Structure 1
Amino acid sequence: MRRLPKRRTELGRVDTMSDHFSGPRAIAGPAGDICDFYVFPSPSRPGWIVLVMTVHPNAKPDTAFSDAITFRFRMRPVTIPGEVTHLAVGTEAEEIAFDLSFAPPAPGDDSAMGQIGRCVAISGEPVAVTVNDPSGAHTDALSVYAGLRSDPFFIDLPALQRSMMSGQLAFSYPGTNSLMGADVLGIVVEADYAPLLTGGHGPVFAVAAETVVSGPLPIRLERTGRPEVKNVMLSPKAYDSVNSDIELRDLYNLEDPFHMGKDYRAAYRTRLNANLPVFDSLDGKVDWPTTEDGVHPLTELILGDYLVIDISKPYTDNSFFEIEQSMLAGHPHATCGGRSLNDDVMDKIYTLLITAGQGPPISDGVRAATTPAGTDFPYLAPANQPPAGQ
């Protein structure tokens, strides 16, 4: 049985949230910084799937989408094997992608309203969308929205920081949403999922979001699957005795979500094997015993960093990580999985990492975003009004 880590105040602080500011490069280049990523069956259009990417933390009314970046959703079919440490993801030939790119804003436009985006979907036929048009753009098989919206993420970041620095849970009730009133640039793609099931694929898919440099040299700027893998699980360095002076997040962002390279894989594993037991210890007990070699039971599953969704099951607000947890427990999943806009993923992450789902849920006391998302396209809540006097 592993001993609990010694509590110490030099434990690496968690200074960011969800996927906002997930590394030095994201901080330096917010235009390509993915804040969050969501995928869920449409609650209002049966037979359709919704993909949402938010970018550019703390966006303003004059913030435009970069014309040098491609914003990409990627999907591959998944099978759930008997081996519980990983999912079997389909090949590159089976991949389905939705690419969005943007022209520069119209000259003299200080609201980005005149900016035009283009979505290339499964059929390859582009769909044009005007940024900040609340109705978006629609075809028989696709709906697209792009524009300034209220940030749907919610977290009590200072309470998490206090927990990490003290080595024990420091949440209060109610908590305070650190993103109250914040806006982001939102991209929403709603697609008929019948074409996704051709060739016997599905209904379970692995899905990830990326920002990539547009043009002939498509360098990956950032990739995002599950929330808080980079900023909570990989960010703290103090317990990683092998890589304690290395910022891993920029390297991790360069990795293909479905095919991690071998060069830094050991470094990511070492960091997770060092950090995950620290989260487990925050309630003063061990719920995830490691192996004699110090391997944490969740490390390999977390390194398969993508959302997993079963599009044959109906929408629910409360299904994040359910497919993976069912796999770990050895029984069939019951929900669509994925991640909805209103799902309280922080409470689920805390409960998973700290208690392994044994006993009462762990909560930071924050229950909803500034304005909860809606059930109809484009789902994301409208941008927040600036405070009086600004």
Structure 2
Amino acid sequence: MSDHVDGPRSIGDPAADITDLFVFTSPGNPARTVLAMDVFPSAGEDAIFSNIIEHAIAVRRVTVAGIGNAAKFDPEAEEIRFSFRFETLKRDAAGSVIQRGVCKLPDGRELSLTVNDEKGTSTPDGDVRVFAGLRSDPFYLAWDIAILKKLPNLLQHTNVLSIVVEFDTRRMLDLAKGSLFGAIAETVPPQQRNLLGPAISRIDWVGRPEQTNMRLNNPAMSAITDLRDLWNQQTPFAVSKVLAPLFLQRLKDSLVTWDLLDGKADWTPETIAATANVFLDDFLLFDVAKPITDQSHLEIEKSTLSGHPYQTGGGRTLDANCIDILLTWLVNNDREFLQGGASGATKPSLKTFPYFATPNTELQTVTDSVELAATPDDVWSLVGQFGGAWHPQTARVSLTGAGVGQLRTIRTLDGQQIVDRLEAIDDTKRSLRYSNIAGIAASHYTSTLEVKPKGTGCVVDWRAQFVATGKTDRAVKVIVSTLFNTGLESLKSQFGVAK
């Protein structure tokens, strides 16, 4: 998923897991360029930036050093770097919990900012403006890409932590020296001595989308070694010469696999080798002197590999359909456009600063029911006990307190722990409502269980609503649906199915 969860190390540290990098021209002012990076996949509403990680976007001027099968993009040594550090949580004058941070600009100036302040912070003369906060994830993936099966957007309703830098293009980039650049984003931990081994140089970095999850760890390839953590330890703009042959061979093998995924060969060995060489130098190319549009993503690379001058500014807008653009290129060399099962992210981008759409806060719903042959009272006498021991996935239950406010701690057969609180119970109406305190990757989770008469038997309704956090909306729905279905199906053997 773009750069989401791209390796064991980043999966273990989601606050440092970069999900995406974007470069585009400000829709409201063509004289300004926007750099943006996202971290923390499936961030919950209380997600905060790590206070020990440096978040950085670095830009270097690039020259075209070869075309056609000799295509090559050479970055200069000088780096234009925007780095962000964030503090621990504090309270403002009104007592609200806030997080503050500092952005260090390439010339050494520092901009203080408050997380989630949509106005952002600007320099006194307005040449740079920055933002950091929770926003709707603009990335979307609507494929089972290993088998080219269309799906709904797998990241529907998810949020990320976004960092945005907008600046005056000419003042920041000195276009007299050239207008083509490469950008990367990285998360760098404190460099301190590690008694168990060498210091970790970085947690994650990204240039072009899908370098790790689709090219280096191609899901259509079987029994391959996961190279993603090794790749993420490389220095951007300077991949290790010792390890370069390993990565290059994987890129070639991956391109061959993608090419044959539809049963047709559209690439020659020469173009595969040339494209792998371009991908090995992983940075997001953009030319600020040309138009950057929703369709211009990867056009610079494609044109240069084809042996003719590029026409657009490349880059990547928030609304760019980067997966389908990339998949079409890899699978059939742009012979036929491959449109996935969704045509856009959960929300389209904004045309004004900070450009990312507002966070997703809509409650999601899961419902299930079963019709039984027993009377409502007989069924309620079992499921109406808040202890929940009737559920077949329950290994043991412990209760704390009594009545409304009572807590139950459920240990499941697979070793998970779920803590719920009773919010309401009505034995007359055979209904109870509870909230989840821990154990389910969701906030605002409430669930209602009701038993109602139907014919000579009854119907048991179980429903929940929540906002997913830490997992995708789809993943949480699967977890809750499985929990409901397993429980309700078990009642059939005890009470019989209504006829």
The normalised TM-score by structure 1 is 0.86
Contact map agreement 1:149 1:381 (CA 8 A) in 2:
yes
Q: Which runs of 5+ in 2 are unaligned?
A: 193-198, 365-464, 467-499
SS in 2 for 1:282: coil
* Residue of structure 2 equivalent to 1:32: 16
Larger Rg: 2
* Residue of structure 2 equivalent to 1:374: 350
1:265 partnered with 2:223? no
The alignment of Structure 1 onto Structure 2 pairs a total of residues equal to 356
- Residues 239-297 of structure 1: CA distance to partner in whole angstroms, max 9, x if unpaired? 58xxx553210010011221111232121112122221111012211111215xx9634
Mark the CA change 1:263 to 1:108 in structure 2 (over 3 Å): closer, same or farther: farther
1:148 partnered with 2:134? yes
Mark the CA change 1:277 to 1:112 in structure 2 (over 3 Å): closer, same or farther: farther
Greater share of residues in strand = 2
Q: CA–CA distance in 1 between the matches of 2:299 and 2:67?
A: 17
Amino acid aligned to 1:251: L
Mark the CA change 1:245 to 1:214 in structure 2 (over 3 Å): closer, same or farther: same
SS in 2 for 1:209: strand
Taking the TM superposition and a 5 Å limit, the aligned residue runs for 1:182-331 are: 182-198=158-174, 200-214=176-190, 219-236=201-218, 239=221, 246-290=225-269, 296-331=273-308
SS in 1 for 2:260: helix
Larger relative contact order (CA 8 Å, sep ≥ 6): 1
* Residue of structure 2 equivalent to 1:133: 117
Contact map agreement 1:30 1:56 (CA 8 A) in 2:
yes
1:170 partnered with 2:149? yes
- Residues 316-352 of structure 1: CA distance to partner in whole angstroms, max 9, x if unpaired? 2211001111111222211111000000011111111
Q: CA–CA distance in 2 between the matches of 1:383 and 1:19?
A: 20
Q: Which runs of 5+ in 1 are unaligned?
A: 1-16, 164-168
Taking the TM superposition and a 5 Å limit, the aligned residue runs for 1:310-389 are: 310-358=287-335, 360-387=336-363, 389=465
1:215, distance to aligned residue in structure 2 (A): 5.4
Mark the CA change 1:215 to 1:45 in structure 2 (over 3 Å): closer, same or farther: farther
* Residue of structure 2 equivalent to 1:160: 145
Contact map agreement 2:33 2:166 (CA 8 A) in 1:
yes
- Residues 140-191 of structure 1: CA distance to partner in whole angstroms, max 9, x if unpaired? 111111000000000114x324x1xxxxx433xxx41000000010101101
Mark the CA change 1:57 to 1:197 in structure 2 (over 3 Å): closer, same or farther: closer
Contact map agreement 2:24 2:292 (CA 8 A) in 1:
yes
* Residue of structure 1 equivalent to 2:407: none
Contact map agreement 2:188 2:203 (CA 8 A) in 1:
yes
Contact map agreement 1:113 1:132 (CA 8 A) in 2:
no
Amino acid aligned to 1:142: V
1:366, distance to aligned residue in structure 2 (A): 1.6
Contact map agreement 1:220 1:253 (CA 8 A) in 2:
yes
Q: CA–CA distance in 2 between the matches of 1:236 and 1:270?
A: 13
Contact map agreement 2:66 2:72 (CA 8 A) in 1:
no
Mark the CA change 1:237 to 1:386 in structure 2 (over 3 Å): closer, same or farther: closer
Contact map agreement 1:113 1:130 (CA 8 A) in 2:
no
Q: CA–CA distance in 1 between the matches of 2:37 and 2:184?
A: 10
Q: CA–CA distance in 2 between the matches of 1:88 and 1:266?
A: 18
SS in 2 for 1:334: coil
Of the structure 1 ranges 256-265 and 333-342, higher mean CA displacement relative to structure 2 is found in 256-265
Contact map agreement 1:20 1:36 (CA 8 A) in 2:
yes
- Residues 187-219 of structure 1: CA distance to partner in whole angstroms, max 9, x if unpaired? 011011113343843211011111111456782
Q: Pick one of 5, 17, 39 that aligns with 1:55.
A: 39
- Residues 8-53 of structure 1: CA distance to partner in whole angstroms, max 9, x if unpaired? xxxxxxxxx1100000001111111001110111111121110110
Contact map agreement 2:207 2:284 (CA 8 A) in 1:
yes
Mark the CA change 1:238 to 1:147 in structure 2 (over 3 Å): closer, same or farther: closer
Percent identity, aligned pairs only, is: 37
Q: CA–CA distance in 2 between the matches of 1:145 and 1:105?
A: 17
Contact map agreement 2:182 2:285 (CA 8 A) in 1:
yes
Mark the CA change 1:105 to 1:201 in structure 2 (over 3 Å): closer, same or farther: farther
Q: CA–CA distance in 1 between the matches of 2:234 and 2:244?
A: 10
The normalised TM-score by structure 2 is 0.67
